[in-house]
């Protein structure tokens, strides 16, 4: 359970003058699936990485449940992130990939077993727990990456283009699987994509970024209905 607040948050990369993300104001509700969308280079990943603690917040702040986390290291934030390339450990089995973060946190073994098996059931990975990533299809690897995030039972999920390595057909299937899973878990989620269809079909609300600036944030319905919206016109 968590709300996320970007309070005029900016990131200015060293050696640059123009903010990559410029005074972002955005309130993400508890349980919401918010999609950040926009063309390449508009600041989506930077926004996500600031929330994860992987980039500095140079001006403004980011709050989780009203608490300023801007200066907390990534490990002190109750956040799980799914990356575009999945970042699975190649030498570990699916089970161990999913259990790894829990082992680091000294979670008791029976609890680890329970959570991994529960996530594997949700993601249809029960048969693959003993395999290593190289023995999995692209879609299975993507599900392991999701599973690794789910077992943490974090306050917030972050996903950065998690479907971009899947073929078109699988991408469409996985879209609805992720949306259904998020609805079931009710975990506040920020999802980054440059794909407008993905944004409009998956997000409760969609935040449109351009050149580091937030253009608008609305439900997909309102975005479609707006006669002159920047979403359609922008890219």
* Residues making contact with ligand ADP (CB under 6 A): 13, 16, 20, 38, 40-46, 130-132, 134-135
Of 136, 147, 146, 155, nearest to 2 by C-alpha is 155
Please report how close the Cβ of residue 189 comes to ligand ADP at its closest, in angstroms: 17
Q: Identify which of residues 107 and 132 has a Cβ nearer to ligand ADP in the complex.
A: 132
Q: Identify which of residues 140 and 174 has a Cβ nearer to ligand ADP in the complex.
A: 140
Strands 59-64, 67-68: pairing kind: antiparallel
Please report how close the Cβ of residue 211 comes to ligand ADP at its closest, in angstroms: 8
Please report how close the Cβ of residue 169 comes to ligand ADP at its closest, in angstroms: 23
Please report how close the Cβ of residue 97 comes to ligand ADP at its closest, in angstroms: 13
Say how many CA atoms lie within 13 Å of 222 toward its Cβ. 10
* Dist CA 100 CA 55 (whole Å): 24
Q: Identify which of residues 4 and 209 has a Cβ nearer to ligand ADP in the complex.
A: 209
Q: Identify which of residues 16 and 17 has a Cβ nearer to ligand ADP in the complex.
A: 16
Q: E-assigned strands of the chain?
A: 4-11, 21-28, 33-37, 59-64, 67-68, 79-82, 156-160, 188-193, 205-210, 213-218
Partners of residue 192 on adjacent β-strands: 36, 160
Q: Identify which of residues 32 and 161 has a Cβ nearer to ligand ADP in the complex.
A: 161
Please report how close the Cβ of residue 123 comes to ligand ADP at its closest, in angstroms: 16
Q: E-assigned strands of 110-184?
A: 156-160
Angstrom CA distances, 117 to 36, 114, 132, stand at 31, 5, 16
Q: E-assigned strands of 132-198?
A: 156-160, 188-193
């Amino acid at each position: 359970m968590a709300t996320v607040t970007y309070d005029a948050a900016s990131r200015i990369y060293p050696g640059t003058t123009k903010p990559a993300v410029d005074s972002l104001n955005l309130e993400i509700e508890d349980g919401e699936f918010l999609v950040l969308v926009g063309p390449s280079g508009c600041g989506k990943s930077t926004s996500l990485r600031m929330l994860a603690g992987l980039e500095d917040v140079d001006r403004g702040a980011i709050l989780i449940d009203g608490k300023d986390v801007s200066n907390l290291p990534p490990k002190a934030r109750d956040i799980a992130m799914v990356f575009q390339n999945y970042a699975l450990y190649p030498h570990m089995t699916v089970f161990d990939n999913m259990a790894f973060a829990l082992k680091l946190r000294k979670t008791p073994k029976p609890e680890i077993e329970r959570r991994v098996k529960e996530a594997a059931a949700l993601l249809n990975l029960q048969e693959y727990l003993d395999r290593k990533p190289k023995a999995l299809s692209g879609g299975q690897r993507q599900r392991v990456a999701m599973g690794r995030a789910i077992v943490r039972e974090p306050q917030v999920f972050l996903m950065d283009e998690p479907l971009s390595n899947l073929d078109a057909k699988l991408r469409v299937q996985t879209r609805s699987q992720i949306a259904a899973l998020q609805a079931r878990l009710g975990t506040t989620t920020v999802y980054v994509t440059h794909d407008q269809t993905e944004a409009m079909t998956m997000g409760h609300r969609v935040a449109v970024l351009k050149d580091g600036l937030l253009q608008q944030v609305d439900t997909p319905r309102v975005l479609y209905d707006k006669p002159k919206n920047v979403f359609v016109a922008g890219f």
